[in-house]
C-alpha cells in the first residue's frame, strides 16, 4: 500500500519514512522539492505538495491509500516561537494549509490520515504532573494552538472510510544527519559552553512505529483519537556523558538538570495497542552512533 508522507525529508519525517519503508510500504514524499538521490534507504516516489491553502494538490493523493502529515513551516530550529514576527502566515500555512490537505485527502478517497501533533498542546503544569490524553489541553504558545486546532479539524472529518488519528510527539531524536543534537555535540567536543536543560524525548523510529500502528490497528481503536508518543526524560549531561565515553573527550560535562521538574507523558494508551519504545538502551546506542558520525565529519 502506498503512503503519502508530507514533510518526509524533514528532521522528523525522515524517521517515519524509513520505518514505513522497512515495513514494506511504498512511500510517496510530498513536499516542495524532490528528495536528494539516496536520501532514503529505499526508493521513494515524489509528489509536489505545499502548505499553501490556496494551492490545489488533489493529484498528490491519487495513489495514496494512507496520508501521514508531518510537514510544518517554522523558523529554522524553532517550533515554539517558530512564527517569528509573522504569526498570520504561520497560522495560515500550518493550520489553514493543514486543514486543506486533510479535506483533500478525504475527498480523494484516502483511507486513513495520521497527523503528527505535539506535546505543546498541553499547558505548563506543576512539576510531577503526568500528562495524559484525557486532560483538557490549554496550549500557551501559538505552535501548540495550531497543533491542537489541527487535531480538532482532523477529528471532525473522521467517519466511515476515513479513519483519523493524531500523535502528540515529544522531542524527537535519532541517528540521522543532519541532527538536532549536532551543534550540542560539536560545542561540547570543541570545549564551548553547553546549556543545562532536560526534556522528554522519543526516538524517531519509535515515532515511526507509532505511525505504523495507526495504519495497521483496528479502525475502531484509533479513529478520531489522540495518542501521546514519548519515552525517556534526558538532560544535556545524559547526552554528553555518552559522547564523552565514546570519544574520550577530556572536556567537563555540564551540571545535571532537574529532571524531576519535567512532566512526563503517559503512553499507556499507545502501549495498549502494542507499542514499546526503545528506552535507555536505544538512547545510549543512538548517541554513540551519532558521536562517532559527527567526529568523522
pLDDT interval class at 45 (50, 70, 90): very high
> Quick check: is 189 in a domain?
no
> By mean pLDDT, which of 16-25, 73-82, 111-120 is the weakest?
73-82
> Quick check: is 236 in a domain?
no
Judged on CB neighbours under 10 Å (0-12, 13-18, 19+), 194 is buried
C-alpha cell at 205: 523510529
Overall average pLDDT of the 85-109 stretch: 96
Give me the number of domains the chain comprises: 1
pLDDT digits (tens, 9 = 90+) for 206-265: 999 999 999 999 999 999 999 999 999 999 999 999 999 999 999 999 999 999 999 999
> Quick check: is 102 in a domain?
yes
> By mean pLDDT, which of 15-19, 78-82, 145-149, 278-282 is the weakest?
78-82
d(CA 119, CA 57): 29
> Quick check: is 294 in a domain?
no
> Quick check: is 258 in a domain?
no
> What ranges in 68-122 are assigned the alpha helix state H?
87-91, 97-107
Residues forming a β-bridge with 167: 116, 227
What 8-state DSSP symbol labels residue 36? P
Tell me what percent of the residues of the chain surpass a pLDDT of 70: 100
Q: Which H or E run contains 184?
A: helix 182-189
- Can you give the CATH number for the domain in which 125 is found? 3.40.50.720
pTM for the whole thing? 0.96
> Quick check: is 140 in a domain?
yes
Which stretches does DSSP call E strand in 23-152?
26-31, 45-48, 66-69, 112-118
Q: What is the pLDDT of residue 83?
A: 85
Residue 185: pLDDT above 90?
yes
Residue carrying C-alpha cell 538536532: 180
pLDDT digits (tens, 9 = 90+) for 118-142: 999 998 889 889 999 999 999 999 9
Residue 78: pLDDT above 80?
no
Residue 297: pLDDT above 80?
no
> Quick check: is 170 in a domain?
yes
Q: What is the pLDDT of residue 119?
A: 96
pLDDT interval class at 74 (50, 70, 90): confident
C-alpha cell at 14: 525522515
Q: What is the pLDDT of residue 123?
A: 86
What 8-state DSSP symbol labels residue 252? P
Whether the CB-CB separation of 238 and 196 falls below 8 Å is answered with no
pLDDT interval class at 107 (50, 70, 90): very high
| Helix-helix angle 97-107:142-157, to 10 degrees | 20
pLDDT interval class at 81 (50, 70, 90): confident
Which residues lie closer than 8 Å to 233 by C-beta, 6 or more apart?
198, 199, 200, 201, 259, 262, 264
Q: What is the pLDDT of residue 294?
A: 82
Q: What is the pLDDT of residue 296?
A: 77
Q: What is the pLDDT of residue 204?
A: 98
Q: What is the pLDDT of residue 255?
A: 97
> Quick check: is 148 in a domain?
yes
Domain encompassing residue 71:
2-174+201-231+266-277
Amino acid at each position: 500500500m502506498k503512503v503519502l508522507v508530507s514533510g518526509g525529508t524533514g528532521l522528523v519525517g525522515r524517521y517515519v519514512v524509513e520505518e514505513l519503508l522497512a515495513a514494506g510500504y511504498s512511500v510517496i514524499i510530498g513536499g516542495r522539492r524532490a528528495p536528494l538521490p539516496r536520501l532514503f534507504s529505499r526508493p521513494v516516489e515524489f509528489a509536489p505538495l505545499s502548505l499553501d491553502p490556496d494551492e490545489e494538490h488533489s493529484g498528490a493523493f491519487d495513489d495514496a491509500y494512507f496520508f501521514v502529515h508531518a510537514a510544518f513551516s517554522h523558523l529554522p530550529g524553532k517550533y515554539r516561537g517558530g512564527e517569528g514576527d509573522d504569526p498570520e502566515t504561520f497560522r495560515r500555512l500550518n493550520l489553514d494549509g493543514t486543514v486543506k490537505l486533510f479535506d483533500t485527502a478525504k475527498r480523494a478517497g484516502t483511507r486513513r490520515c495520521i497527523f503528527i501533533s505535539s506535546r505543546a498542546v498541553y499547558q505548563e503544569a506543576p512539576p510531577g504532573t503526568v500528562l495524559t490524553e484525557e486532560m483538557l489541553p490549554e496550549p500557551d504558545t501559538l505552535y501548540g494552538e495550531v497543533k491542537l486546532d489541527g487535531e480538532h479539524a482532523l477529528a471532525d472529518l473522521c467517519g466511515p472510510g476515513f479513519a483519523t488519528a493524531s500523535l502528540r510527539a515529544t522531542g524527537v531524536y535519532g541517528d540521522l544527519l543532519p541532527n538536532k543534537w549536532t551543534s550540542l555535540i560539536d560545542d561540547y567536543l570543541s570545549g564551548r559552553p553547553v546549556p543545562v536543560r532536560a526534556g522528554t524525548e522519543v526516538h524517531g523510529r519509535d515515532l515511526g512505529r507509532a505511525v505504523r500502528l495507526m495504519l495497521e490497528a483496528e479502525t475502531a481503536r484509533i479513529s478520531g483519537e489522540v495518542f501521546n508518543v514519548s519515552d525517556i526524560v534526558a538532560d544535556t549531561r545524559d547526552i554528553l556523558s555518552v559522547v564523552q565515553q565514546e570519544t574520550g573527550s577530556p572536556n567537563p560535562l555540564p551540571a545535571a538538570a532537574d529532571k524531576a521538574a519535567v512532566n512526563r507523558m503517559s503512553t499507556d494508551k499507545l502501549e495498549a495497542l502494542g507499542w514499546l519504545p526503545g528506552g535507555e538502551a536505544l538512547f545510549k546506542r543512538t548517541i554513540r552512533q551519532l558521536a562517532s558520525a559527527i567526529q568523522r565529519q
